[in-house]
Amino acid sequence: MKNSDLIIARAKETIILQSNSIANLTNFLDNSFAEAVNFILNSNGRVIVTGIGKSANIATKIVATLNSTGTPAVFMHAADAIHGDLGNIQENDVVICISKSGNTPEIKVLVPLIRNSKNKIIAITGNPESFLGKNADFVLNSYVEREADPNNLAPTNSTTAQLVLGDALAVCLLDLRGFTNNDFAKYHPGGALGKRLYLRVSDLIKNNQLPKVLATDKITEVIVEISEKRLGVTAVTDDNNKILGIITDGDIRRMLSKTIAIESLTAADIMSSNPKTIHVDAMAIDALERLEASNITQILVTDDTDNYVGVVHLHDLIKEGIF
């Protein structure tokens, strides 16, 4: 087995080399970057991102980031482009071309074809004096002094630099578009992050049962209600469905630890008055914050007329991936 200290030392060295390479990119940012951002912002087309080899892998990530933050983007592999996929590029599209050297054969074939179509080219390259750099409309310099591997061969620092410049483009565009939390939720409806931004209490309770008893109901009826509705709680309401209190399964256990003479007891005898409630239209994340703040696992839900309409259980939030 290799020495653990040597492995950790190599890993730290790699991380430091990459972080230094990224930090050095700030020295290369110039008006060309700002002009590229403004051109994409004001374009009526999409962003086509292309590359070959490891740069193509970076291109797919940049496309994903742009699409998820409000800038329509499409990936086009540089090799496939010169074998039919060039038809992906439409009249108003802008092309981001990624290449460390800027001189690969595929790039040298592709760039003139793009220019013939009058589409603007944004180059992300470590060599602004390359064929790509000299033929691009905007050049983003991704130069790194060396790669992170001992042989200075494996694309590591260079691909990280490309990715960071792509992220910088996406973030600047996001900011200039005024991209909001609601926009983010629209593009991420299935993820936990999106759910935190759009899921409401009404969505959580729609499949839950509605446990409730009257203040005058016997304890045996309360126990049955809690057991049957399977939420570990019941609301205590009046005849008009207004909340008077709450009884949890914990309240039942505490009652039984004090007495077994329960025949004469009613819901009003053991309920907690003025329980925590939340409006049915509140955000699910607000329900989570209320539960955490009060150190409870259930909260009663009311509507605009203060009628009792449901229960949110901590398990509902866990199931949705919010907790």
Task: Concatenate the DSSP letters of all residues of 48-88 into one string.
Answer: EEEESTHHHHHHHHHHHHHHHTT--EEEEEHHHHTTTGGGG
User: Is 315 marked as a binding-site residue?
Assistant: no
User: Is 83 marked as a binding-site residue?
Assistant: yes
The partner residues of 313 in beta bridges, in order of sequence, read: 298
The partner residues of 236 in beta bridges, in order of sequence, read: 213, 245
71 contacts 47 by C-beta, under 8 angstroms = yes
Instruction: List strand residue ranges (DSSP E) for the chain, in order.
Output: 47-51, 73-77, 94-99, 121-125, 138-141, 212-214, 233-237, 243-248, 272-273, 277-279, 298-302, 308-313
User: Is 216 marked as a binding-site residue?
Assistant: yes
User: Is 77 marked as a binding-site residue?
Assistant: yes
| Residue found under tokens 């962003």 | 47
Of the candidates 270, 187, 172, the residue with the CA atom closest to the CA atom of residue 221: 270
Half-sphere exposure of 304 (CA within 13 A, CB side): 0
Annotated binding site for Zn(2+): 77
Annotated binding site: 77, 83, 216, 269
Annotated binding site for substrate: 77, 83, 216, 269
